[in-house]
């Protein structure tokens, strides 16, 4: 705890801002049922009611409270993006490190499969797979995790390739360390900085991808609250000078900026460079 406080004391203002944003979003996502004035899909009034003391952000196209939907959207959009990113890292990171350690035909087969998948434009590939397998939340998580795991594979393999040629890896092999022990004790501690930074960036890409797919109608499906679909469903309000649809868009942008600030700080700290 003391070490963490010392680290935070030396963090730049941008990193502190990013950490504050991430903490705020996490708290809103966890305590959404306690914070939101109404239930996620509860119809509380007429369509497109203006802002008032009862409805701070008005109502949407079905008469649901916009503030409650935005709060629940934090839980759904951010939670699904986090789960998808974790799954992409488990698959891509594990296969990338194994490819670097094994080498030979294992590396060649995995690398060529990844090259083929990466040759297809990411958004088009996701749209195609979602059209085939449906737009349920499990399908959304698995498909986006599969596509983004190829990017994680390339990075983890490149990082691991620079580590497996080190003398201490050879020494660990000579003393009889197995494959998983090598990964756990030697490779992961030395690859943690770039992998953590990539996790933050990959979370932003996944988060934006889910929002984009929801905006196009192939992401998180109604009545589940989602920021991307909220922008689409209420975009007609902009015609009348009401900027309420831009609030979920601003929420997406703010979290992306906050995570990038933290990632920049982590990369700078791990590089050993001084301000």
Q: Residue 112 is encoded by which pair of tokens?
A: 């060529």
**Per-residue pLDDT tens over the stretch 140-160:** 999 999 999 999 999 999 998
Residues 14, 261 contacting (CB under 8 angstroms): yes
- Residue 104 within a domain: yes
Task: Provide the strand spans (E) within 170-246.
Answer: none
- Residue 76 within a domain: yes
- Residue 68 within a domain: yes
| pTM listed for this prediction | 0.87
**Which CATH number fits the domain that encloses residue 231?**
1.10.3720.10
- Residue 163 within a domain: yes
**Per-residue pLDDT tens over the stretch 6-38:** 666 777 888 889 999 999 999 998 999 999 999
DSSP summary character for residue 54: S
pLDDT in tens, the chain (275 residues): 566 666 667 778 888 899 999 999 999 989 999 999 998 888 888 888 888 888 888 888 888 888 999 999 888 888 899 999 999 999 999 999 999 888 888 889 999 999 999 988 888 899 889 888 888 889 999 999 999 999 999 999 999 898 888 888 888 888 877 778 888 888 888 888 888 888 888 998 898 888 888 888 888 888 888 888 888 888 877 877 778 888 888 988 899 999 989 888 877 776 654 55
- Residue 29 within a domain: yes
Q: Residue 123 is encoded by which pair of tokens?
A: 């958004």
* Domain that includes residue 206, residue range: 24-35+55-271
């Amino acid at each position: 705890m003391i070490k963490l406080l010392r680290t935070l004391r030396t963090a730049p203002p941008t990193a502190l801002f990013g950490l504050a944003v991430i903490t705020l979003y996490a708290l809103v996502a966890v305590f959404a049922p306690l914070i939101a004035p109404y239930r996620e899909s509860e119809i509380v009034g007429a369509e497109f009611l203006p802002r008032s003391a009862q409805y701070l952000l008005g109502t949407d196209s079905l008469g649901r409270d916009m503030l409650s939907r935005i709060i629940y959207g934090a839980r759904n959009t951010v939670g699904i993006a986090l789960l998808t990113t974790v799954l992409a890292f488990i698959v891509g990171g594990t296969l990338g490190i194994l490819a670097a350690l094994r080498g030979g035909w294992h590396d060649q087969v995995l690398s060529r499969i990844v090259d083929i998948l990466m040759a297809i434009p990411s958004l088009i590939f996701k749209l195609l797979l979602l059209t085939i397998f449906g737009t349920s939340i499990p399908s959304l998580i698995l498909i986006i995790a599969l596509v983004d795991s190829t990017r994680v594979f390339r990075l983890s393999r490149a990082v691991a390739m620079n580590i497996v040629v080190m003398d201490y890896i050879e020494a660990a092999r000579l003393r009889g360390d197995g494959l998983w022990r090598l990964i756990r004790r030697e490779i992961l501690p030395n690859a943690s900085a770039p992998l953590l930074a990539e996790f933050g960036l990959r979370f932003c890409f996944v988060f934006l991808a889910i929002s984009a797919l929801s905006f196009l109608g192939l992401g998180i499906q109604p009545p589940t609250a989602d920021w991307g679909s909220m922008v689409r469903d209420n975009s007609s309000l902009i015609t009348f000078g009401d900027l309420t649809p831009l609030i979920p868009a601003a929420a997406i942008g703010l979290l992306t900026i906050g995570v990038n600030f933290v990632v920049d700080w982590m990369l700078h700290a791990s590089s050993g460079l001084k301000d």
